[in-house]
Structure 1
Amino acid sequence: MQPWIRSARYDGLLILAPPFLALALVLAVPPAYRSTTRMPLLAWVGLVLLIDVAHVYGTLFQTYFDPVRRRQWPTLLWAAPLACYAAGVALHGVSGLLFWQVLAYLAVFHFIRQQYGFLRLYARHECAASPGAATRPLPGQGLAAALIYYATIYPLLYWHFSPPRNFNWFVAGDFVQRDWPAGRLVATVLYSSLIGLYLLREAAEWRRTGQLNVPRNLLLTGTLVSWYAGIVWFNGDLAFTLLNVVSHGIPYLALVWSTGAAPLAAPAVSVGRRRGPWAGRYGLAVFLGLIAVFAYLEEGLWDGLVWREHQAAFGWFQSLPPISRPTLLMWLVPLLALPQATHYVLDGFIWRRKR
């Protein structure tokens, strides 16, 4: 029996398939868009606004919109945004670039840990019990954890050890980069070696038991595909955003919707068990509608007050006065980025389980 979070169909379509579907879309677009800094407005709306920014607000349904969670974590839910805002103001007061650099590396940590979290969910039954002792991981299980981490770290090392790419995480210069061919070579050798060791381990396990953990292997393959293709193979903003955002945002929203307020180990969760604004008959519409509205409002404020890059998508927001004074930006930018920063911090708590 495979360790699905909800079901083979649900997990397969919304959690495991997005990296492969994203790669197929990248291969289907005109070659010029795979290696350019340009991104069409429609693609930006679909990827950045409706997936990347919107998925941040999925955290609301696991925290502030859940009356039980509000009672469970009263201090955390007000302390986290206050701490994030205070830290953001302090960092931006030193340097605007420093603020974006710290936020970028926090985002990277969040993205990496999400993949590891999914791995833990799909490997939750892979343990051996000793008489009178707690369960322990099976031999070689740590190799999967090492690979899921390095499947994300290697492309980032390649990025850091390369000349400037045609894409950024947030803004230009938010990663510290140095063109270092030897560093890329060492990182690549380790990458290939880990993949080889993992394949040998899985082959040995197949010969020994005749079984494979299908979702775990699909998760690892999808992580390898999306991170390598998005950062190393292609060198374009659309390709990077498509592979990065779809592979991260859609599975996150699927996990939020699937688990609701129930334990993650539950095989299926009914809508009726949810609490808060998504608990009724039209819960899915409320869920998707609210996160889309919040994302639009946030990006409208960013565009009207700071970026001025997507006027066609944010009509009346263009009547807002653009802010350019460093003193005002020091207070404004961390405030606009607060939902994102709080999402990163709270996610370190809301998915933890004792086992």
Structure 2
Amino acid sequence: MTQPWIKSPRFDGLFILLPPFAALAVVLLLPERFRSTDEMPVIAWVSLVLLIDVAHVYSTLFRTYFDPARFRPRRTLFLTIPVLCYTVGVGLYSLDAGWFWRVLAYLAVFHFVRQQYGFLRLYSRTENAPRPYRQLDTVVIYAATLYPLLWWHLTPGRHFNWFVDGDFWQTASPQTGIRTVLTALYIGLLLLYAAKEVRLYQTRQWVNWPRNLLVAGTALSWYAGIVLFNGDVAFTMLNVVAHGIPYIALIWVTSRPSRGVWASLLRSYGIVFFLGVLVVLAYLEEGLWDGLVWREHPSVFGMFGQLPPVQTDTWLAWLVPLLSLPQSTHYVLDGFIWRNRPEG
């Protein structure tokens, strides 16, 4: 049997399977304070949040609004979702800003978790494994993400958050007993998965390397970023690199427009144009956030410092959902645009 690569061993290995392992290696080399405090240097924020996390959101444009062949048949869906996201966002923020950020955080979590399941399905597409084995794969990939998330909810005092402080619900004190039970169940699942792989090898003399590397990378990055370490840089690096780079890579290899102005520009300037668009849009968005709302990185967004800060709740209720619209639209649209097998 041949390995079920999405593009090629080199491409998948470098841009889809390697990122979580590379991120973990970098974290292990960082000074201790970056693994155990909320310190976030500006250069780390720019590299991880601006250039990967925010930028990967805009890569969706090349599979939706920038591609006439995909946009026209689903015009109503692609135009309705941003309107609904903004309307709901304004309503939530008007009622309670905390609930707006909480709903957005859990929507993002759902998106991150489902991405790992999506890659699992891609790397299992050529296997003809027994149904119980496929079901176990699904349970394990979800457990690899949900176990650390549950542990986070049961462990107050983490030095990181998803968007803002308090966006996740958390218990008032560590729930040691529940965490112990969850850990035992999780270890049992991993051992069962390993035993299943041994059995498959014995019967087929073949190992699905991309699927196993995906499961291992997911388990390592989520556990290390949330449970093992308690630092903002460590969490952000393991969370963002393992998610954003594979997503951008998948868009690049499967979703470039075949006609229209964007297709012409991509043919002329290739990956430089593709990544340039993502970076420019990410910078503009974060510049508006910094100038109008956060005021946290004046050294990065100097020209946006001339904007008047918005401080009244009424205006923020209209502005914050608008600035977060690329993210909320990305999270919701992503549930629709990958239902067919990618081309290429």
Same fold (TM over 0.5): yes
Change (3 A) 1:50 1:123: same
Match of 2:230 among 225, 230, 235: 235
- 1:157-172 counterparts in 2 under 5 A? 157-172=150-165
Give percent identity, aligned residues only: 60
2:156 corresponds to 1:196: no
Question: What is the Cα deviation at residue 318 of structure 1?
Answer: 0.5
- 1:124-135 counterparts in 2 under 5 A? 124-127=125-128
- State the distance in 1 between where 2:169 and 2:217 align: 27
Question: What is the Cα deviation at residue 283 of structure 1?
Answer: 2.3
- State the distance in 1 between where 2:48 and 2:188 align: 33
Change (3 A) 1:143 1:276: farther
Question: What is the Cα deviation at residue 274 of structure 1?
Answer: 6.7
Residue 110 of structure 1 corresponds to 111
Residue 309 of structure 2 corresponds to 322
- State the distance in 2 between where 1:70 and 1:56 align: 17
| Equivalent pair of 1:303/1:317 in contact (CA under 8 Å) | yes
Moved >6 Å (runs of 4+): none
Deviations 1:13-50 (A, max 9, x none): 00000000000110111111111101110110000000
- State the distance in 2 between where 1:126 and 1:142 align: 13
Q: Going by fraction, where is helix more abundant, 1 or 2?
A: 2
Deviations 1:154-180 (A, max 9, x none): 000000000220000100000000131
- State the distance in 1 between where 2:272 and 2:262 align: 10
Deviations 1:123-163 (A, max 9, x none): 001126xxxxxxxx544111111000010000000000002
Question: What is the Cα deviation at residue 260 of structure 1?
Answer: 2.1
Question: What is the Cα deviation at residue 185 of structure 1?
Answer: 1.1
For residue 276 of structure 2, what is the amino acid of its counterpart? G
Match of 1:211 among 206, 223, 226: 206
Question: What is the Cα deviation at residue 275 of structure 1?
Answer: 5.7
Structure 1 counterpart SS, 2:268: coil
Question: What is the Cα deviation at residue 354 of structure 1?
Answer: 7.3
Question: What is the Cα deviation at residue 281 of structure 1?
Answer: 2.9
- State the distance in 1 between where 2:35 and 2:157 align: 16
Change (3 A) 1:192 1:173: same
Match of 2:262 among 277, 280, 298: 277
Change (3 A) 1:90 1:121: same
Give the number of aligned pairs: 337
- State the distance in 2 between where 1:354 and 1:112 align: 19
Task: Provide TM-score, normalisation by structure 1.
Answer: 0.93
